[in-house]
Structure 1
Amino acid sequence: MRTLLNSLFVLSEDVYLSCKDDNVYVERGKERVGSVPLRSIEHILCFSYKGASPALMGRCAELGVSLSFYSPWGKYYCSIFGENSRNVLLRREQYRIADDESRALSIAKSFVIGKVFNARWVLERARRDHAMSINMERVTGQSHLLADAIVSVRAQTSIDALRGVEGRAAQDYFYTFDDLILRNKDDFFFESRSRRPPMDRMNALLSFVYVLLAGDCAAALHGVGLDPYVGFLHRDLPGRESLALDLMEELRSVLCDRFALSLVNTGAIKSSDFEERENGGVFLNDKGRRTVLAAWKKRKDEVLTHPFLKEKIPWGLVPYVQALLLARTIRGDLDAYPPFMWK
């Protein structure tokens, strides 16, 4: 269990939550793993399959502490919000900001700055770690373009213009993405980003991992009381979780792209893990999906120091921490949304 941003994260999948004297008890069998006063927290995010007692659920509802349940893999199940919960006020403010371009622009800029900054540092890491294996001139040139894009993001005065800068930065980043593939170049290569369907193995791998991250971001937003379907950068479309797509932008390169490249460059994923369909699309087969999912679980368990909180957390908690920071920004507790900026 971890307490961050007045939120209790219960990460062990075999513990049970109960309530006594206005404390949430975390128990494994007959052993008490820990306890936290309910009045000291705003959210409980529970990833245990054993769940929580009705007494705890009722007391959380009475005190206005949100209690959200997830599978150990991060699939969102449901949340309990009490009568005193600020969830309605939070969502109303989210909708107001989304309808006011001048206010939405500030948050959208933070998403894009985080995305471009992290994409640049993926290239910088490649320059540092694989200088003898990559086209240094090309990677360096694209890194400089991304640095210029960050400056350009700050100068934009409309969301449409911001989307244009973001799109060009993504093209500059992917222009040199093939240089980051260090082995099995006959089977794994990257010419351009292709979707619906992906047309090669690298794009198929990226698309699959992006779906996993999008699911984590949507689950995180649900848990903190935000509406995943109403975003600030991505346009509203029926059935599209626009805010989840907003949130995942800053995490794509550092969490998904580096993960996919690691699978390829270490030989963990092979050409036999893919299949080609009649329409020319390439997709992971059952064996490939199992391989990626197992590696994704291990990746999410790895620990980093969060750049804003300065605390060590698993990578798997990053979307949830960012969702909490976004909720605090919308609520007015933070002056601006702090994007996840990795080095």
Structure 2
Amino acid sequence: MKETIYIFSSGELMRKDNSLVFASEQGEKKHIPVENVKEIMVFGEINLNKKLLEFLSQKEIILSVFNYYGFYMGSFYPRTHNNSGFMILKQAEHYLNSEKRLILARKFVEGAIKNELTVMKYYNRRGRELSEHIARLEIRLLELNDCSDIPRLMQKEADAKKYYYDSFNIIIDSEDFEFRKRTKRPPKDKLNALISFSNSLIYSITLREIYSTHLDPRIGFLHETNFRRFSLNLDISEIFKPIIGDRTIFQVVNKGILKDSDFDKLGERTYLNDRGKMRFLEVFEQKLNETIKPKTKETSEL
């Protein structure tokens, strides 16, 4: 199975014969067999050249770049090999048709709330008293059917997210990671730093998976399609944030995998340092590689 390579050091990423080599600033060289790589995520400061990009394109390897604070900045994508004019026309048709767009957008929100409920019920069975939060979220889920437009649907999603975030202080054992308020630009405490970093990873991974299909990531349905960014990956990511990102957060906090020393602060901004990112990614990768059985009468757990 192909893997994702994470680069935290500064140096140069280059092509060497029919392989990749990363040379750190300290002079250490690491060979990366391209046959096993599906994506390279760069968190450090690296140099590269056109020869490398041509090779990545040839091998269909995606190169994603994150800034110093761990926020996703963008990706180099190999030449699109799954072009489908028919699919793009169908996507645009569904976006421009308000009824069809609403149906799809509702499904994204429904999937997100159902997975939030799955996470809350998982911890409720393990002694965390979340019955009231679950009941409120189930009401929000039912109310989605009454939404007649996208703005109202997004408001219901925001209401559901508030109840879901309120459950974090019951799920999380550590007072050092108390949830007070969702802050994004910048994240102002350690828990918000984890949420932002996790979401950034999921946006990037979802975009990578869209690339392997005939879908166009520029045409979303819940999030507005505009000139500034991809939107379909934002739609789909909402479904996976709870069961991959948030469960990773709960695990690294409740099991004491992350310490105070794994975070840095600059002004109002709190962020994971490189050591913290690596510890988080180790658990995050485990979640990505888990097999989750579809819920049936016989199986009711993640």
TM range (shorter): 0.7 to 0.9
Please say if 1:294 is aligned against 2:267. Answer: no
Structure 1 match to 2:201: 212
Letter in 2 for 1:140: S
Change (3 A) 1:147 1:68: farther
For 2:196 and 2:101, the matched residues in 1 are separated by: 27
Which sits farther off after the overlay, 213-222 or 232-241? 232-241
Deviations 1:313-336 (A, max 9, x none): xxxxxxxxxxxxxxxxxxxxxxxx
SS at match of 1:250: helix
- What are the superposed Cα offsets for residues 122-179 of structure 1, whole Å, 9 maximum, x if unpaired? 11111101x1xx4x2xx21111011111111122111111111111111111122111
- Residue-by-residue CA offset, 1:92-134 (whole Å, 9 max, x unaligned): 11011111111111111111111111111211111101x1xx4
Paired amino acid for 2:170: D
* Residue from 119, 123, 128 that aligns with 2:120: 123
Matching residue's letter, 1:171:
K
SS at match of 2:123: helix
Counterpart of 2:55? none
Which secondary structure state, in structure 2, belongs to the residue aligned with residue 276 of structure 1?
Answer: strand
Gaps (5+ residues) in structure 1? 1-10, 14-47, 52-66, 309-340
Q: Secondary structure at the match of 2:264?
A: strand
Residue number in structure 1 paired with 2:21? none
Q: How is 1:1-343 mapped onto 2 (pairs within 5 angstroms)?
A: 11-12=1-2, 49-50=34-35, 69-70=60-61, 77-78=77-78, 81=81, 87-129=84-126, 131=127, 134=128, 136=129, 139-182=130-173, 184-185=174-175, 187-278=176-267, 280-306=268-294, 343=302
Partner of 1:44 in structure 2? none
- Preserved contact between residue 34 and residue 59 of structure 2 (Cα < 8 Å): no
Structure 1: distance between partners of 2:110 and 2:92:
22
Structure 1 residues 342, 198: closer, same or farther in 2, change over 3 A?
farther
SS in 1 for 2:232: helix
| Matches of 1:120 and 1:293, distance apart in 2 | 24
Cα distance in 1 for residues equivalent to 2:293 and 2:179: 31
SS at match of 1:303: coil
SS in 1 for 2:223: coil
TM-score (norm 1): 0.64
CA contact (8 A) 2:133 2:164 kept: yes
Q: Is residue 122–residue 301 contact of structure 2 (8 Å, CA) maintained in 1?
A: no
Following TM superposition, by how much is the alpha carbon of 1:253 offset from its aligned partner in structure 2, in angstroms? 0.8
Secondary structure, aligned partner of 1:304 = coil
Q: Shift of the alpha carbon at 1:70?
A: 3.9
The one-letter code of the counterpart of 1:50 is E
Offset at residue 252 of structure 1 (A): 1.0
CA–CA distance in structure 1, aligned partners of residues 83 and 216 of structure 2 = 13
- What secondary structure, in the 3-state scheme, does the structure 1 residue paired with 2:292 have? strand
Distance in 1 (alpha carbons) for counterparts of 2:79 and 2:285:
23
1:236 positional shift:
2.3
Q: What is the distance in 1 between the residues matched to 2:96 and 2:280?
A: 39
Q: Matched residue pairs, number?
A: 242
Q: State the one-letter code of the partner of 2:91.
A: Q
- Separation of aligned partners in 1, 2:214 and 2:301: 26
Aligned with 1:224: secondary structure? coil
What percentage of aligned pairs have identical amino acids? Answer: 26
Deviation at 1:249, TM superposition (A): 0.7
2:62 and 2:208 in contact (8 A); partners too:
no
* Structure 2 residue aligned with 1:59: none
The alpha-carbon deviation at position 270 of structure 1 amounts to 1.1
Q: What is the distance in 1 between the residues matched to 2:194 and 2:207?
A: 20
User: Does the 8 A contact of 2:169 with 2:179 survive in 1?
Assistant: yes
Q: Contact 2:264–2:272 at 8 Å: present in 1 too?
A: yes
Return the offset for 1:237.
3.4
In structure 2, the CA distance between the partners of 1:141 and 1:68, relative to structure 1 (3 Å rule), is farther
Residue by residue over 1:255-296, the C-alpha shift from the partner in whole angstroms, topping out at 9 and shown as x without a partner, is 111111111001111111001112x11000111112122222
Instruction: Provide the TM-score with structure 2 as the length reference.
Output: 0.73
